[in-house]
A and B are shown apart, each in its own frame.
Chain A
Amino acid sequence: MPIAAAVVLNVLGVSAFAQSESPPRLIAAPQDFKPAFTLEDSDRVATALNDLHGRPVIVHFFATWCEPCRVELPALQRLAERAGTLRVLTISVAEPEARVRTFLDKMPLHFPVLLDRDRSVARFWNVSALPTTYILDARLQPRLFVESDYPWDEVDVPALETSLSNGGEQHAVPSP
C-alpha cells in the first residue's frame, strides 16, 4: 500500500529532503551532470539512454554478487510491470557477460540489463555503493536518488509518473 508523501520533489531543483538510514528514502538527486550512455546487454544488444527521452526513467545500478540487489530486483520488475510511461534500465556494474547471463537464466527480467564492464558509467554517475538508483524525469534529468535497496512495491507509480512528467512545480512523490 502506498505510503503518504514523505519526499517533496521540486522539479526546478530547490529541494529539502530528510534522509534516514532506515527505512530507505528517495532523496533529491545531485544536480551535477550525468552523462548519457549507450551500453550493451549480455547479448551485445545496445541501449542508449537518450532513446528514452520523453519518458521518466529509472536507472538502477546493481551487481549479481550483491545480496540486497538480488532481493530488490523482483520488486523493481513488479514496478516496471505496473508502469505506464516509466521505463526501467538496470546496469550490472563490472561483471562478466557469462555471469550476468547465468543470473538472468535463473531470474528472467523484462527490462534491459546493461553491462557497465569497466565501471565507467557508474563512476560518471557517482555510484559509490550498490544498489544505487536514480529516477530521471522525462527530460532525462536526475530527480530522485537512493543509495540502498528500496521497497518499490510501495511506490505509487501513477503519482510518480505525473511528478516526473511535469516540470516547474512541486509534486508529492510517494515514499515509505
Chain B
Amino acid sequence: MQYHRRDLLKAGGALTAVAAMPGFARAQSFAPKPGTWRKFEIVTKLEIAKPEGKVQAWIPVPSVNEADWFKSGDSKWTTNGTASLQHDAKYKAGFVHVTWDAGQSPVIEIVSTATTQDRAIDLSKPGQAAALSDSDRKLYTGPTALIPTDGIVKQTSDKIVGNAANDIDKARRIFEWVVENTARNASTRGCGIGDVAAMLTSGNLTGKCADLNALYVGLARAAGLPARDVYGIRAAPSQFGYKSLGAGSANITKSQHCRAEVYLESLGWVPVDPADVRKVALEEPPANLPLSDPKVAAARATLFGAWEGNWLAYNFGHDIALPGAQGPAVEFLMYPQAETVAGRLDCLDPDTFRYSITAREVSV
C-alpha cells in the first residue's frame, strides 16, 4: 500500500482515539510483567563461503546493560583467525572483530549470554527515574545519518504532537500515529533500512522494525524527546500466544528485531514498539488483521510502556564505523558483517555469507 505524504500530513494533526479506549485491549491477554529473569545463551557461527584474500568480520554481541531489564554476559569465541572484543566509541556497541589471512578458511563461533526480563512501566505513576545525563540527552535527541530531526521529520512531528499537554502525551501521540499510518511490508529485506526522511518524503511508510521504529525515534527526537532504537534478536517464543512476536525455533538466524525506547521525565526509559503492533496485524492468524482486532488492540495497548523479555538487546548504535573496514559505516549493527577483497558481503543473505545464530534458555 502506498501512502501519500499530503494525506499523512493532514492526518497527522489529529490524535487517534484508540489510546483512550481501554476496553479495546481487554479481550486478549498480553501483559508482560517484570519479576522473572531469564537467561539465554546465543551461539553465532560464521564461515565465509568464498574467502578472497584477507577477510574480516564484525559480529554484534549483547552489550546493553540496563539494571531493570537487561544484563549482558560474557562473549567467548573459538576461531582460526585473530579476534578481539571491541566497542564503538559513541554508543559502546559491542562486537567481535576477527581477521583472517589470505588462504585461510575463516571460521568463528561466539557464545554469548544475556539475562533479561519483561518490562512494564506504570505510566500513571511517575516515580524517581534516574535523570538523563546531558551527553545522553544530546545523543538521543540528535540526528543520525538516516534519522534527521529537521525538515520533513520535524514538520511531521510538529503536526502529530500539536498541542500535546506534556511529554507522555507527545510520546503516545507519536506512537499512535506510527501505528495508524504505517504498515509492515513482508517483502522488505531483513528488518529494513530506517531511512526516515526517505519514508516521509516518498509517502511510503511501509517496512519492517528498523523502518517503523526508527520512524518513531525520529519523530520523537524531532519533538525534543530523547528516544533510541534498540537493536537485538528474538530468542524465545512469546508466552502470550503471539506467534509473530517470538522466535519460532532455536534457530534465530533471521529473528533480528529492533525495538525502541523514549525517555520521559519521572518514568525513565519507556519501552515502545509500534512496529510489532503492525507485525501482529500482518502476521497473526488468519493474517491481515484490522487494528480493531482484539489481538492487535491488545498489542497496541501493551507495546507503549511494556514488552516481553523473550528478546535480547545488542546495542543502541547508529552509524557505526567498523574498524579496519574498506566499506562505509553501517547504519546499525544488528547483523554480522564481513568483507573480503571483493568487498562487503550481504549480511541479509546468511546462507551464502554464511552464518547461523541459535539460542537456548539456560538457568539464571
Q: Give Cα distance in the complex from A65 to B204, angstroms.
A: 13
- Can you name 16 A-B residue pairings with CB atoms under 8 Å? A21-B6, A94-B193, A94-B328, A94-B331, A96-B343, A96-B345, A97-B342, A98-B346, A98-B349, A99-B349, A119-B328, A129-B198, A129-B199, A129-B204, A130-B202, A147-B201
Pair count A-B, CB < 8 A: 65
Q: Give Cα distance in the complex from A99 to B4, angstroms.
A: 29
Q: Give Cα distance in the complex from A99 to B327, angstroms.
A: 13
Q: Are A129 and B202 in contact (CB under 8 A)?
A: yes
Q: B203 within 8 Å of A by Cβ? A: yes
Chain B: interface secondary structure?
Answer: loop
Q: Are B202 and A147 in contact (CB under 8 A)?
A: yes
Q: Give Cα distance in the complex from A99 to B343, angstroms.
A: 10
Q: Give Cα distance in the complex from A81 to B188, angstroms.
A: 30
Name B's A-contacting residues (CB within 8 A). 4-6, 145, 185, 187-190, 192-193, 197-199, 201-204, 327-329, 331, 342-349, 352-353
Q: Are A65 and B345 in contact (CB under 8 A)?
A: no
Q: A31 within 8 Å of B by Cβ? A: no
Given A67-B187, A96-B327, A99-B348, decide whether A42 and B197 contact each other with a Cβ distance below 8 A: no
Return chain B residues, CB-CB under 8 Å to A21.
Answer: 4-6, 203
Q: Are A97 and B198 in contact (CB under 8 A)?
A: no
Q: Give Cα distance in the complex from A94 to B342, angstroms.
A: 16
Given A94-B328, A128-B197, decide whether A102 and B189 contact each other with a Cβ distance below 8 A: no
Distance of A44 from chain B, by nearest CB (Å): 8
Specify the chain B residue showing the minimal Cβ separation from A127.
Answer: B198
Q: Are A117 and B189 in contact (CB under 8 A)?
A: no
Return chain B residues, CB-CB under 8 Å to A119.
Answer: 145, 328
Return chain B residues, CB-CB under 8 Å to A64.
Answer: 189
Return chain A residues, CB-CB under 8 Å to B192.
Answer: 65
Within 8 A of B (CB), among A124-149: 128-130, 147-148
Given A21-B203, A128-B198, decide whether A65 and B193 contact each other with a Cβ distance below 8 A: yes
Q: Are A98 and B201 in contact (CB under 8 A)?
A: no
Q: Are A118 and B328 in contact (CB under 8 A)?
A: yes
Mask, A86-104, CB within 8 Å of B = 1, is 0000000010111100100
Given A65-B193, A119-B145, decide whether A98 and B202 contact each other with a Cβ distance below 8 A: no
Q: Are A65 and B328 in contact (CB under 8 A)?
A: no
Q: Give Cα distance in the complex from A117 to B325, angstroms.
A: 12
Return chain B residues, CB-CB under 8 Å to A65.
Answer: 188-190, 192-193
Cross-interface CB contact of A130 among B187, B189, B198, B327, cutoff 8 Å: B198
Q: Give Cα distance in the complex from A63 to B193, angstroms.
A: 11
Q: Are B328 and A117 in contact (CB under 8 A)?
A: yes
Return chain A residues, CB-CB under 8 Å to B343.
Answer: 42, 44, 96-98
Q: Give Cα distance in the complex from A117 to B330, angstroms.
A: 10
Return chain A residues, CB-CB under 8 Å to B197.
Answer: 128-129
Within 8 A of B (CB), among A38-60: 42, 44
Given contacts A98-B344, A98-B353, A129-B202, 19 further A-B contacts (CB under 8 A): A21-B5, A21-B203, A22-B4, A42-B343, A44-B343, A63-B193, A64-B189, A65-B188, A65-B192, A94-B193, A94-B328, A96-B344, A97-B342, A98-B349, A99-B346, A117-B328, A128-B197, A128-B198, A147-B202
Q: Are B346 and A102 in contact (CB under 8 A)?
A: yes
Q: Are B185 and A67 in contact (CB under 8 A)?
A: yes
Residue picked from A44, A65, A117, A148, most chain B C-beta under 10 Å? A65
